[in-house]
Amino acid sequence: MTQLNTRNPFALRYLMDDTIFDFEVDSAQEGVLASDPTQPFSFMGMNKSRILYLIENAEESYFSPSALDAFTKTLHALRLSVDDVAVLNLAQIERKLNLDEIVSFFNPQKIIFAGASPVKMGLTDLEVNRASMQQAVQLLYTYSFEEMLTDTNKKKAFWQAVKAF
């Protein structure tokens, strides 16, 4: 038998289907930037690719463990990591925000409203899973990761929209 060597992570995923290491990620710490009193927002990620996910989850800091798993798998499928994006939980912010303030701070190329209501920022014309443009920023209003965990049709619609986005 010949030896098969590869470092390609996609090839390895198909060649090795046994769990080698299994560990849980603490969602409160993964990629979260330390709270800095001089910064107006505490968010998850590093925003390297200037992609902002706006979520609204009053029960968690960001995601439930299963939603975090779905989120990280989605990023991986898009060839991104948590460091490439920023996740801002609007439910954790007590004051009213507007799009100008978000754009000024994060300087995003893309904003994905993942369950967060764009109406709260004065955006009333966004359709679900249909990309639009505002202030030179691409916008996508879609379902929360919590919703997609329980509804396969929403997950499929999200995936089609985010791939095209």
- pLDDT per position as a tens digit, 107-137: 999 999 999 989 888 888 889 999 999 889 9
Cβ atoms of residues 51 and 112 within 8 Å = yes
Is residue 112 included in any domain, yes or no?
yes
> Using 50, 70 and 90 to split pLDDT, how confident is the model at 69?
very high
Is residue 21 included in any domain, yes or no?
no
pLDDT at 38: 62
pLDDT at 1: 53
Q: How far apart are CA 108 and CA 41, in angstroms?
A: 14
Nearby residues of 142 by Cβ (< 8 Å), 6 or more positions away: 112, 113, 114, 115, 128, 129, 157, 158, 161, 162
Nearby residues of 30 by Cβ (< 8 Å), 6 or more positions away: 44, 68, 82
Is residue 29 included in any domain, yes or no?
no
In CATH, what number is assigned to the domain containing residue 56?
3.40.470.10
Residue 153: domain span: 41-164
Structural domain total, the chain: 1
Q: Is 9 exposed, middle or buried (0-12, 13-18, 19+ CB in 10 A)?
A: exposed
pLDDT digits (tens, 9 = 90+) for 1-59: 566 666 665 555 555 555 544 444 444 434 444 445 566 788 999 999 999 999 999 99
